[in-house]
Structure 1
Amino acid sequence: MEAALAEELFRLGLHDLHVSLGGKMVPFAGYEMPVQYPAGVMKEHLHTRSAAGLFDVSHMGQVILRPRGSYEALALAFETLMPVDVLGVAEGRQRYGLFTNETGGILDDLMFANRGDHIFVVVNAACKSADLAHMQAHLSDDAEVIAVTDRGLLALQGPLAEAALARLIPGVAAMRFMDVAILPWQGVDLWISRSGYTGEDGYEISVPDARLRGFAEALLDQPEVMPIGLGARDSLRLEAGLCLYGHDIDTTTSPVEAGLTWAIQKARRAGGARAGGFPGAARILQELADGPDRKRVGLRPEGRAPMREHTDLFSPDGTPVGEVTSGGFGPSVGGPIAIGYVARAFATPDAGLEGEVRGKRLPVTVADMPFHPTTYKR
């Protein structure tokens, strides 16, 4: 049975490189992915925080939206799928987005960039087939929706990411957080954004498959760079207070409950230039005005025991008030941390709650996020 399941998994273009580096391969979102390398999750996490870590995120979906008419018409059409100001994104800039459904839940979170004559979109691996179909169904009159299937995606993250990457591509040093650029390397174009999902400064780089291993090895040859697996990627994003789709956000979660109101620009809110007009607008705009019944919060369990996903949360008098959606140990903060949803009355910093771990109620405190300061280059 295990062999049959393994055969159904996709392999990354860099699979052999990961194995040669000692990567422990595990199933994730339909792919065989390295969860860690011989250094281990703790050292990989701390290395990313202090130097630079290289992540293979080629399982993510890359999509080009090429307008059939004007770019403006495409941007306005794209806005019908999410509560985000697409039209206001300047050329050479990227923005975080959210596909919503008719009940105000989140179909996926994504990044999209204005590349002048088209929009470039990066979506989550587990959702990419559904996202592609969603865009084809709703945008086909305004855009050619093109799945990019001949490029890998790498993320270089950490305070020394700029120094390492700039030796290969000097132009990246001038980029700031959420800039995008197409820059050459050894005769091929790399699609680069100054972004990532670790809370650190860094880059995501789309590379043609034929040059993917060569480019990855060139990065790993830099003295600051270490390969990093899924384990550290998760602990890094957890410390940064960032959502993991399918865990912290899903089709039942609204952007307002999830604390993602910063991603809903003024133009799309009540009274804005292009208010509403997206799926689930009635619920989302009402929650923006009145507040949601529950909110996503950071949580700091007392002691050393982590509170994992699905840990039930209770008020001091024993009333159920919520649930943990992500949890683990934060290497940079030196203790357990978690993200979860609690009733609005308890969603205030320093509120004392209890989490049920193996039949015992243990103290946990609502905390501000991120748990570790971000270092984006503004």
Structure 2
Amino acid sequence: MSDAETLKHLPLETLHEEAGARFGGFAGWRMPLTYPAGVMKEHLHTRESAGLFDISHMQLFEVEGPDAAAFLSRACPLDAAALGEGRSKYTVLLTEKAGIIDDLIVTRLGPQRFMVVANAGNAARDEAHFRDLAKGMDLTFEPLERVLLALQGPDAEAVLIAAGLDLSDLTFMTATEPADGWFAARSGYTGEDGFEVALPVAEAERFARKLLDDDRVQWVGLAARDSLRLEAGLCLHGQDLDEATDPASAAILWAVPKALREEGKFVGARALQAIIAEGAREKRVGLKPEGRQPVRAGAPIVNEAGETVGRVTSGGFGPSAGHPVAMGYVARSLSEPGTRLFTEVRGNRIALDVHSLPFTPQRYHKG
């Protein structure tokens, strides 16, 4: 059996084929990578109007019951009991050594009910980890089958209103359930204002076609999603985050409430506290290559003397930034913006400057 035959298929695959998508495998799924407009135009259209992404490969889990908040606060460095209804929080699943199993969005939907959105490539691992932690607790943990669409860009709110879905009351990282089986959040992974809407498979094609009937909307594939999130300084698990990295090194300690950094009881708490006390040995940073040649994940980072001091974890060209952009890990002593480092691409030595993140302004609607 070929790899293509073993890939999972999106419920709306026919729509992507109609649109002329070029497909490729990603996290076990057959995903639209680009459309005829091409990566550059898809990227810029999202920044300027409204890009529509099919992210149904991602997994939603519903957690419900008297122990739901305590369970999530044990699983993640999160105070789930303090999370207001309709509020979403970026968080992580950690190993006992504080390695990052996955990064997640947790939303409180009711007094005892939460929604967790997990990355596709980690969904099975996450579910097994969650179920292990849930043993003996009074709750249900249910994976949901939904189509998940992300509409991103400055016209996203107006497009949804025109399509009959008014989410204008939401601000960044808040969510609601607009209909039975629907879940909608003002969030996304492009740095732009936008929404993520999960809905039953049977209702998804009609809704997607309604959005696409609007001239402001254009399908955007996985390739442009990657360049958009990279410009926005956002991590991709499996590249910028993994079980060999921790929240302190990854520069996402802002996601861990200060009180929990000091006295949390979540999985990995002791290890994370030790890392914070000692100081992380390396740090995730933005990197701006000199010239027009992009650098790619896996490229070593060296100092003036040619000694390896880090590694590139994500890289490409930033259409909105107008130059190559990258992220990677370097020794903490070399993590200040402006620090000059180097890498090699096809035998050519290229200078890299440590650059503050994000590369382009984040334009979330914070109310």
Match status 1:261 vs 2:253? yes
The structure 2 residue matched to 1:181, chosen from 166, 176, 185, is 176
Q: What displacement does 1:26 show?
A: 0.9
- Tell me how far apart the structure 2 counterparts of residues 161 and 346 of structure 1 sit (CA, whole Å): 39
Match status 1:287 vs 2:275? yes
Contact 1:85-1:267 at 8 Å conserved across structures: no
1:143-188 CA-to-partner distances (Å, cap 9, x unmatched) read 2111102x1100000011011011224530111001111113xxx5
- Tell me how far apart the structure 1 counterparts of residues 200 and 102 of structure 2 sit (CA, whole Å): 25
Equivalence for 2:155: 160
Q: What displacement does 1:300 show?
A: 0.1
Match status 1:214 vs 2:210? no
- Tell me how far apart the structure 2 counterparts of residues 268 and 166 of structure 1 sit (CA, whole Å): 39
Aligned counterparts, 1:303-318, within 5 A: 303-318=291-306
Q: Secondary structure at the match of 1:323?
A: strand
Q: Secondary structure at the match of 1:164?
A: helix
Equivalence for 2:61: 63
Aligned counterparts, 1:130-145, within 5 A: 130-140=125-135, 141-145=137-141
1:83-104 CA-to-partner distances (Å, cap 9, x unmatched) read 2222221001111110000111
- Tell me how far apart the structure 2 counterparts of residues 19 and 76 of structure 1 sit (CA, whole Å): 44
Aligned counterparts, 1:104-253, within 5 A: 104-116=98-110, 117-140=112-135, 141-149=137-145, 151-184=146-179, 189-253=181-245
TM-score w.r.t. structure 2 length?
A: 0.97
Letter in 1 for 2:18: S
- Tell me how far apart the structure 2 counterparts of residues 42 and 23 of structure 1 sit (CA, whole Å): 15
Contact 2:160-2:166 at 8 Å conserved across structures: no
Letter in 2 for 1:312: P
Match status 1:354 vs 2:342? yes
Letter in 2 for 1:336: P
Letter in 2 for 1:268: L
Equivalence for 2:96: 102
- Tell me how far apart the structure 2 counterparts of residues 267 and 145 of structure 1 sit (CA, whole Å): 27
Q: What displacement does 1:142 show?
A: 2.9
- Tell me how far apart the structure 2 counterparts of residues 16 and 261 of structure 1 sit (CA, whole Å): 41
- Tell me how far apart the structure 1 counterparts of residues 189 and 138 of structure 2 sit (CA, whole Å): 30
- Tell me how far apart the structure 1 counterparts of residues 265 and 258 of structure 2 sit (CA, whole Å): 14
Q: What displacement does 1:195 show?
A: 0.2
Instruction: Give the % identical residues.
Output: 45
Match status 1:371 vs 2:363? no
Contact 1:191-1:207 at 8 Å conserved across structures: yes
Equivalence for 2:319: 331
Q: What displacement does 1:276 show?
A: 2.3
The structure 1 residue matched to 2:87, chosen from 93, 104, 109, is 93
Contact 1:78-1:139 at 8 Å conserved across structures: no
Query: Bigger CA drift: 254-263 or 130-139?
Result: 130-139
TM-score w.r.t. structure 1 length?
A: 0.94
Letter in 1 for 2:287: L
- Tell me how far apart the structure 2 counterparts of residues 232 and 276 of structure 1 sit (CA, whole Å): 38
Q: Extract unaligned runs of 5+ from structure 1.
A: none
Equivalence for 2:40: 42
1:215-268 CA-to-partner distances (Å, cap 9, x unmatched) read 111111112110000010000000001000000000010011000011001231
- Tell me how far apart the structure 1 counterparts of residues 24 and 261 of structure 2 sit (CA, whole Å): 42
Q: What displacement does 1:329 show?
A: 0.2
Match status 1:11 vs 2:22? no
Match status 1:343 vs 2:331? yes
Letter in 2 for 1:159: P
RMSD of equivalent CA atoms:
1.2
Q: Secondary structure at the match of 1:115?
A: strand
Contact 2:285-2:329 at 8 Å conserved across structures: yes
Equivalence for 1:24: 22
1:281-327 CA-to-partner distances (Å, cap 9, x unmatched) read 22311232342000000000000011100111111122210000000
Q: What displacement does 1:189 show?
A: 4.7
Contact 2:261-2:269 at 8 Å conserved across structures: no
Q: Extract unaligned runs of 5+ from structure 2.
A: none
- Tell me how far apart the structure 1 counterparts of residues 109 and 321 of structure 2 sit (CA, whole Å): 38
Q: What displacement does 1:122 show?
A: 0.6
Contact 2:261-2:272 at 8 Å conserved across structures: no
Query: Bigger CA drift: 358-367 or 252-261?
Result: 358-367
Letter in 1 for 2:96: E
Q: What displacement does 1:377 show?
A: 0.5
- Tell me how far apart the structure 2 counterparts of residues 88 and 198 of structure 1 sit (CA, whole Å): 27
Equivalence for 1:81: 75
